Structure 1
Amino acid sequence: MTDTPSPNHFDLHAATWDADPVKQARALAVGKGIQSQVPLSPRMGALEYGCGTGLLSFALQPQLGHITLADSSEGMLAVLNDKIAAKRITNMRASKLDLLTDPLPPERYELIYSLMTLHHIRDTDALLRSLHALLTPSGYLCVADLDAEDGSFHGQGFDGHNGFDRRDLAAKVESAGFRTPGFTTVFSMTKGEGSAQTAYPVFLMVAQK
């Protein structure tokens, strides 16, 4: 949810974002995937990059220490702050951040994760290098995103990535300094009806610094 082709898209949809049951189910599935592959602990400081309304972080919040939720959409962050206040959560903080244009923040994290964010980032190599720098030694990076698709997920006019080939992304991640990542399929979305229905798998990539 950073470096998007339409900067106001996420602001416009922020208020109704959580009403989509698919987004809710996707976040819970990715959260379970992270819980099964990363030794979460209340001692871990975490960063969610491209957090939106924080659906994934709310799924992980009880098992983590302090969580910084970063996004470039002011609309999403406003909804997120309302949710944090309403639930009286004390270990989550929203932050406006775009790692491709803003200075690297001073904090370092044991865990960084993102959900459906990377395919919006044009310069994935630069972002991966920044995320590597923000992790503590042996810290974990968890990226959930679309497998490579034919462009029909977003449709015409989208200038991000049409998902990712897992081998190509693994090479980028290793080039950024991470150890060899692992991939699992944690969710699948469908669009269209009948014979025109298309499945869009979502992978979870886990890499360690």
Structure 2
Amino acid sequence: MGNTDKFEMIANVYDTPERIQIAKVSSDAIRKFVNDAKSKNAIDFGCGTGLVGMSLINEFNSMLFLDTSPNMIHQINQKIADLHIQNADTLCFDFEKEGLSDLHADYIFMAQVLLHIPDVEFVLSRLFAVLNEGGHLLIVDFDKNEKVVSDIVHNGFNQGKLTDIMTKIGYKNIQSKTFYQGSNIFMGQDASMFILASQK
């Protein structure tokens, strides 16, 4: 996945107060779209150190933390061990390079992950294949932001255009809304975040 090298280097210092706060508002937004999921399994896709997934773990029967960075996965394994969590697993894997035909989930969520993925449509198609019929993909990311100029990440997303891409893939019941605004939260710029919910 995009920028793995960068994440490898910052894994052990990733959990800053700012990131913890953004993860909290992200997981709170995701939780509102999780209904009656105690028997369901979830994937925290591009999980980083698991800040979002860890706060949602009790909503699901089981959770798989998936990331391309071995160091990030090491951080989560440590948390799982320290907290004696029984219903979590981890997988270090790059979805952009190969597919996982035996991986299936009822819920997949990704928070501030899509902006690191060069080929958005390709990865969203891969995730569609992983979802069980009727399963949910929840995306939290930044709204399009012209002030952000970067050659390593997208400068956010237009919710309408993202909806069009996902509709083409086959996602349905798509709804999205901006739910948070913060100062200096996106590459040093003030920015807003949206949540998009969809179903297979």
Give the TM-score normalised by the residue count of structure 2. 0.93
Aligned partner of 2:171 in structure 1 is 178
| Distance in 2 separating the partners of 1:189 and 1:12 | 26
| Distance in 1 separating the partners of 2:193 and 2:175 | 14
Query: How does 1:37-116 map onto structure 2 within 5 Å?
Result: 37-116=33-112
Aligned partner of 2:2 in structure 1 is 3
Task: Flag structure 1 segments of 5+ consecutive residues without an equivalent.
Answer: none
| Amino acid aligned to 1:3 | G
Measured against aligned partners, the alpha-carbon deviations of 1:28-56 in whole angstroms (never above 9, x if no partner) come to 21222122122042201101110000011
Aligned partner of 1:118 in structure 2 is 114
Root mean square deviation, CA, Å = 1.7
Instruction: Give the structure with the larger strand fraction.
Output: 2
**Cα deviation, residue 184, structure 1:** 2.2
SS in 1 for 2:172: coil
The 1:135/1:123 distance shift into structure 2, 3 A limit, reads same
In 2, are the aligned partners of 1:67 and 1:92 still within 8 Å (CA)? yes
Corresponding position: 1:204 with 2:188: no
The 1:57/1:28 distance shift into structure 2, 3 A limit, reads same
The 1:151/1:96 distance shift into structure 2, 3 A limit, reads farther
In 2, are the aligned partners of 1:3 and 1:98 still within 8 Å (CA)? no
SS in 2 for 1:8: helix
| Distance in 2 separating the partners of 1:95 and 1:116 | 19
After the TM superposition, which segments of 4 or more aligned residues of structure 1 sit over 4 Å from their partners?
Answer: none
Aligned length in residues: 198
Q: Sequence identity of aligned pairs in percent?
A: 25
**Cα deviation, residue 107, structure 1:** 2.2
Measured against aligned partners, the alpha-carbon deviations of 1:53-109 in whole angstroms (never above 9, x if no partner) come to 001111101111111110001111111111111011011111011111022240211
| Distance in 1 separating the partners of 2:27 and 2:73 | 20
In 1, are the aligned partners of 2:147 and 2:189 still within 8 Å (CA)? no
| Distance in 1 separating the partners of 2:147 and 2:113 | 16
In 2, are the aligned partners of 1:174 and 1:180 still within 8 Å (CA)? no
| Amino acid aligned to 1:96 | C
| Distance in 2 separating the partners of 1:86 and 1:207 | 34
Q: Determine which of 17, 24, 27 is the counterpart of 1:28.
A: 24
| Amino acid aligned to 1:207 | S
| Distance in 1 separating the partners of 2:25 and 2:49 | 16
**Cα deviation, residue 185, structure 1:** 2.2
